[in-house]
């Protein structure tokens, strides 16, 4: 049982990093970004290419490069696709639907490029990048990679919550999310903040991708797909925009999945996440921890 | 209102995401019906989860066609290989098959997935179109009828020799991790391996199903490690191979692993040292130590022509084409009809043909029987495992 708790915490940490980026772009930009999983995958490819062409770089440098690469990719996506679509849409619902479809197209392009680049085969970051160590503590196996993933999730979640709640930019983002026009009237540049939100979202996806590739031992072009579905489950359970809710439900879903996977088998594990979505949508459509949107986070 | 819109968006998003995950792409290239050209349709899973191996099957088939055409073709007629992507998707595979049997192809070839081949074989038989399957090791494919052949030895046949070798090395118990969405893996996990283990007196400590698309294997790995087996069967595919092995090591299992030929073709490379002492049977390995001459000559010629070593999948694709070519050579300058090809395939199957996977590749009930080789991953590369029977498959020489 203790071993399963360790496994659940590691998995929940990856879910957390992935879900926070998605809820950020959804909460601020009203973009349900289905390309978030593709950016997550692109992050692993940035890291892989860097280690291929510059062997011997420290892990922190590779992680930082993937973070920057993923952030830039997300900004590019926002500037080239999402922002123009929002500008040309008649109302918020139209904009949300159109950007949703655009994000499917962008995801497809990114996944195809990563697939071609990897020759449609799994690829792994060099083992020398982060030597794996396994510690046996009272019969429980814990690895340095699991500890790293947990620390990254705690630190980045805390920083994001502090940024959103306490910083001037965070408050400005909330203002833009609440009423873009009114925010503009008081001198807040919605355009800049939207780009910043996408960059932050992309950076989180890139970090999550690299950490997952290290944790699993390999990555492939489609690795973001299954996490995207899990992130939907988490955000629906938490309610769109609830950062603390996303963190809580990321770990809760991971725990339930881990216990179900261990005791009942992998066959029913994934189905459970979607049974939960349906139940929550029926009983409480706004999510279990929703607080009326990201703007009030 | 805003919540309703978001909920609607959310549901749409989930649907789109599921559809996106479920769908692949397909396409075709080439193909002509000129009288001096023999068209072959090759349906292969070159995208989706099977792409890892499917692309190599196509590469091997193209290499074989190029070699035959460079030597003047068959009976003065050149081969024209049309490749269609079945995207690792049963519906796409059936659609491609339905189209192919109505075309002017002399035969249809397919690789890779068992579930697709199972659905395609009855279509070929009903349409009376010769159908040659590569990989797809599950029962029930060649049973569709006399137009259907398989040129890859069913891996289950190799398992007794592999488990015997591990048993001789001191293994008395095994656990099994398998992809529950792959019929071959299900058959091997629930029937073949348990029957062999019973025969050898080995205990099965755990049998754990997983899905190919899973990314987190920590729970099944924990269950297996907790059962303390001497060896573990890893019957997963593609990216799952590396991830599951890494999870098993992380969960505390440090013993030898064994599995299917899906562990070949570079699948263990990303796992590196974590996969050390992983064994699998294969119909081919790109090693000069391969114990049959046609395999080593294929290795050197393929390397010379393409600049890279052929995988077992490339060898499989090559042999599918060469089986058909041997049949077409029997027909010579005669009429190439679906019936004449079927009769010629039966004749070649009776004698065997020289392929990359055997010299000769023999057939029993239209399914290939080849010598096989036990492969060991030493942490860096695939090697011919020491202390193995030759041929690995006793039935190849009539001993089993």
Contacting residues for A72 by C-beta, under 8 A, at least 6 apart: A199, A202
Distance in angstroms (rounded) separating the CA atoms of residues B214 and A268: 12
Q: Considering the domain boundaries, does residue A127 fall inside one?
A: no
Domain ranges (residues) in chain B? 28-153+292-369, 156-282+373-397
Contacting residues for B256 by C-beta, under 8 A, at least 6 apart: B166, B169, B171, B230, B231, B232, B277, B278, B279
Distance in angstroms (rounded) separating the CA atoms of residues A243 and A235: 9
Interchain contact, A212 vs B239, CB within 8 Å = no
Q: Is A265 on the interface with B (CB under 8 A)?
A: yes
Q: Is A90 exposed, middle or buried (0-12, 13-18, 19+ CB in 10 A)?
A: exposed
Q: Is A96 on the interface with B (CB under 8 A)?
A: yes
Contacting residues for A166 by C-beta, under 8 A, at least 6 apart: none
User: Smallest CA–CA separation between B268 and chain A, in Å?
Assistant: 10
Distance in angstroms (rounded) separating the CA atoms of residues A103 and B285: 42
Distance in angstroms (rounded) separating the CA atoms of residues B141 and B127: 15
Give residue-wise pLDDT tens across range A13-63: 999 998 988 888 887 777 788 899 999 999 999 999 999 888 788 999 999
Q: Tens-digit pLDDT profile for chain B (400 aa)?
A: 445 555 455 444 444 444 443 333 333 333 334 458 999 999 999 987 788 789 999 999 999 999 999 999 998 899 999 999 999 899 999 999 999 999 999 999 999 998 999 999 999 999 999 999 999 877 889 999 999 999 999 877 888 889 998 998 899 999 999 998 888 889 889 999 999 999 999 999 999 988 877 778 888 899 999 999 999 999 988 778 888 998 999 888 999 999 987 787 677 888 888 899 999 999 999 999 998 999 999 999 999 999 999 999 999 999 999 999 999 999 998 899 999 999 999 999 999 999 999 999 999 999 999 999 999 999 888 899 988 888 888 878 765 4
User: Smallest CA–CA separation between A261 and chain B, in Å?
Assistant: 6
Give residue-wise pLDDT tens across range A118-137: 877 788 888 888 888 888 88
For residue B184, the surrounding DSSP H or E stretch is helix B183-187
Percent of chain A, pLDDT > 70?
93
Fold type of domain B156-282+373-397? Rossmann fold (3.40.50)
Q: Which of B163, B156, B165, B190 is nearest to B176 (CA)?
A: B190
Q: Taking 60 as the threshold, does the pLDDT of residue A246 lie above it?
A: yes
* Burial letters B146-185, b for 16+ CB under 10 A, else e: ebbbbbbbbbbbbbbbbbbbbbeeebebbbbbbbbbbbbb
Q: Which of A245, A235, A247, A241 is nearest to A294 (CA)?
A: A241
Largest Cα separation within chain A, whole Å, is 61
Answer for the pair A42, A110: CB distance below 8 angstroms, yes or no: yes
Categorize the per-residue pLDDT at A288 as very low, low, confident or very high, splitting at 50, 70 and 90.
low
pLDDT at A286: 66
pLDDT at A273: 66
pLDDT at B344: 97
Checking DSSP bridges between strand A140-143 and strand B37-44, what pairing results, if any?
unpaired
Distance in angstroms (rounded) separating the CA atoms of residues A154 and A60: 17
Substitution target in A17, A261, A277 with the highest count of B β-carbons within 10 Å is: A261
User: Smallest CA–CA separation between B154 and chain A, in Å?
Assistant: 24
Q: Taking 70 as the threshold, does the pLDDT of residue A194 lie above it?
A: yes
Q: What is the DSSP letter of B261?
A: G
pLDDT at A135: 87
pLDDT at A12: 93
Distance in angstroms (rounded) separating the CA atoms of residues B84 and B96: 7
B216 contact residues in A (CB cutoff 8 A): 11, 216, 257, 261
* Residue A247: count of CB within 10 angstroms of its CB: 27
What is the layout of strands, in order, in the sheet containing B173-179? B203-210, B173-179, B231-235, B257-259, B278-282, B373-377, B382-384
B245 contact residues in A (CB cutoff 8 A): 217
Q: Which of A287, A263, A238, A281 is nearest to A23 (CA)?
A: A238
pLDDT at B18: 42
State which residue of chain B sits closest to A137, comparing Cα positions. B252
Distance in angstroms (rounded) separating the CA atoms of residues A288 and B38: 64
User: Is the four-CA dihedral B47, B52, B57, B60 of positive or negative sign?
Assistant: positive
Task: Provide the token pair at B300.
Answer: 């050197």
Interchain contact, A122 vs B214, CB within 8 Å = no
User: Smallest CA–CA separation between B90 and chain A, in Å?
Assistant: 19
Task: Provide the token pair at A229.
Answer: 């579905």
Mean pLDDT of chain A: 84
What count of Cα atoms within 13 Å lies in the side-chain half-sphere of residue B349? 24
Whole-Å CA distances, A111 to A207, A212, B27: 17, 17, 18
CATH code for the domain in which residue A231 is found? 1.10.3470
Please, which residues 10-39 of chain A have a Cβ atom closer than 8 Å to chain B? Answer: 10-11, 32, 34
pLDDT at A41: 92
Q: Considering the domain boundaries, does residue A134 fall inside one?
A: no
Task: Provide the token pair at B126.
Answer: 């009903």
Task: Provide the token pair at A270.
Answer: 């994934």
Substitution target in A7, A123, A137 with the highest count of B β-carbons within 10 Å is: A7
pLDDT at B24: 34
Q: Is A255 on the interface with B (CB under 8 A)?
A: no
Task: Provide the token pair at A272.
Answer: 């459970």
Categorize the per-residue pLDDT at A290 as very low, low, confident or very high, splitting at 50, 70 and 90.
low
pLDDT at A247: 92
Chain A / chain B CB contacts < 8 angstroms? 161
* Superfamily designation of domain B28-153+292-369: Response regulator (3.40.50.2300)
Q: Taking 80 as the threshold, does the pLDDT of residue A267 lie above it?
A: no
Task: Provide the token pair at A234.
Answer: 């988490």
Distance in angstroms (rounded) separating the CA atoms of residues B254 and B257: 9
Interchain contact, B250 vs A123, CB within 8 Å = no
pLDDT at B22: 38
A235 contact residues in B (CB cutoff 8 A): 10
Q: Considering the domain boundaries, does residue A131 fall inside one?
A: no
Interchain contact, A141 vs B216, CB within 8 Å = no
User: Smallest CA–CA separation between B190 and chain A, in Å?
Assistant: 15
Q: CA A208, A209, A213, A219: dihedral to nearest 10 degrees?
A: 160
Answer for the pair B355, B346: CB distance below 8 angstroms, yes or no: no
User: Smallest CA–CA separation between B233 and chain A, in Å?
Assistant: 17
pLDDT at A272: 72
Answer for the pair B30, B82: CB distance below 8 angstroms, yes or no: yes
A147 contact residues in B (CB cutoff 8 A): none
pLDDT at B173: 97
Give yes or no for a cis peptide into B360 (omega within 30° of 0): yes
pLDDT at A237: 81
Query: Which residue range forms the structural domain that includes residue A11?
Result: 2-121+139-296
Categorize the per-residue pLDDT at A167 as very low, low, confident or very high, splitting at 50, 70 and 90.
confident
Q: Considering the domain boundaries, does residue A89 fall inside one?
A: yes
Contacting residues for B315 by C-beta, under 8 A, at least 6 apart: B60, B283, B284, B295, B298, B355, B356, B357
| Total count of domains within chain A | 1
Do you know the residue count of chain B?
A: 400
Q: Considering the domain boundaries, does residue A25 fall inside one?
A: yes
Question: Which 3 state secondary structure label does DSSP give A228?
Answer: helix
pLDDT at A239: 79
């Amino acid at each position: 049982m203790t071993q399963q708790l360790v496994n659940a915490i590691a998995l929940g940490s990856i879910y957390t990093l992935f879900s926070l980026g998605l809820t950020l772009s959804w909460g601020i930009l009203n973009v349900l970004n289905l390309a978030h999983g593709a950016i997550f995958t692109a992050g692993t490819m940035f890291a892989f290419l860097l280690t291929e062409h510059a062997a011997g770089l420290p892990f922190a440098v590779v992680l930082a490069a993937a973070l920057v690469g993923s952030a830039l990719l997300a900004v590019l996506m926002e500037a080239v696709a999402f922002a123009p679509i929002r500008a040309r849409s008649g109302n918020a619902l139209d904009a949300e639907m159109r950007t949703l479809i655009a994000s499917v197209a962008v995801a497809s392009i990114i996944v195809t490029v990563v697939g071609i680049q990897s020759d449609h085969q799994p690829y792994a970051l060099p083992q020398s990048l982060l030597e794996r160590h396994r510690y046996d503590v009272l019969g429980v196996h814990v690895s340095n990679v699991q500890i790293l993933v947990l620390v990254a999730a705690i630190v980045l979640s805390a920083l994001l919550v502090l940024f959103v709640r306490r910083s001037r930019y965070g408050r400005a983002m909330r203002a833009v999310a609440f009423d873009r026009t009114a925010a503009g009237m008081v001198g807040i540049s919605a355009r800049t903040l939207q780009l910043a939100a996408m960059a932050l979202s992309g950076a989180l996806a890139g970090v999550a991708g690299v950490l997952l590739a290290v944790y699993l031992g390999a990555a492939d072009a489609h690795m973001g797909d299954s996490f995207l579905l899990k992130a939907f489950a988490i955000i629906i359970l938490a309610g769109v925009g609830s950062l603390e809710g996303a963190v809580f439900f990321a770990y809760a879903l991971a725990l339930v999945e881990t216990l179900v996977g261990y005791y009942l088998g992998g066959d029913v594990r994934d189905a459970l996440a979607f049974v939960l979505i349906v139940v929550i949508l029926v009983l409480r459509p706004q999510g279990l921890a929703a607080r009326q949107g990201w703007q009030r986070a | 209102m805003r919540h309703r819109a978001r909920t609607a968006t959310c549901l749409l998003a989930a649907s789109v995401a599921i559809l996106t995950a479920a769908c692949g792409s397909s396409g075709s290239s080439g193909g002509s019906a000129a009288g001096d050209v023999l068209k072959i349709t090759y349906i292969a899973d070159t995208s989706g989860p099977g792409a890892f191996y499917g692309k190599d099957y196509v590469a091997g088939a193209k290499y074989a066609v190029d070699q035959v055409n460079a030597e003047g073709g068959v009976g003065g007629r050149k081969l024209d290989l049309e490749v269609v992507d079945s995207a690792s998707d049963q519906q796409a595979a059936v659609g491609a098959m339905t189209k192919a049997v109505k075309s002017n192809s002399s035969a249809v070839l397919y690789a890779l997935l068992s579930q697709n081949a199972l659905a395609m074989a009855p279509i070929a038989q009903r349409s009376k179109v010769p159908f040659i399957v590569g990989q797809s090791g599950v029962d029930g494919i060649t049973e569709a009828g006399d137009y259907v052949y398989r040129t890859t030895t069913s891996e289950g046949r190799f398992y007794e020799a592999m488990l015997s070798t591990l048993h001789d090395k001191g293994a008395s118990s095994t656990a099994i991790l398998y992809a529950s969405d792959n019929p071959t893996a299900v058959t091997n996990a629930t029937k073949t391996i348990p029957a062999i283990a019973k025969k050898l007196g080995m205990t099965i400590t755990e049998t754990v199903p997983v899905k190919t698309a899973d990314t987190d294997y920590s729970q099944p790995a924990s269950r297996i490690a907790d059962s303390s087996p001497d060896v573990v069967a890893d019957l997963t595919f593609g990216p799952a191979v590396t991830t599951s092995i890494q999870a098993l090591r992380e969960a505390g299992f440090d013993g030898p692993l064994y599995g299917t030929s899906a562990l070949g073709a570079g699948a263990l490379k990303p796992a590196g040292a974590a996969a050390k002492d992983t064994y699998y049977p294969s119909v081919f390995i790109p090693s000069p130590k391969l114990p049959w001459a046609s395999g080593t000559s294929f290795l050197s010629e393929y390397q010379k022509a393409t600049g890279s070593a052929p995988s077992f999948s490339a060898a499989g694709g090559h042999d599918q084409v060469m089986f058909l070519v041997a049949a077409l050579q029997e027909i010579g300058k005669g009429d190439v009809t679906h019936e004449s090809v079927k009769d010629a395939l039966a004749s070649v199957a009776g004698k065997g043909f020289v392929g990359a996977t055997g010299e000769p590749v023999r057939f029993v009930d239209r399914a290939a029987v080849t010598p096989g080789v036990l492969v060991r991953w030493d942490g860096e590369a695939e090697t011919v495992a020491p202390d193995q029977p030759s041929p690995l498959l006793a039935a190849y020489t009539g001993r089993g």
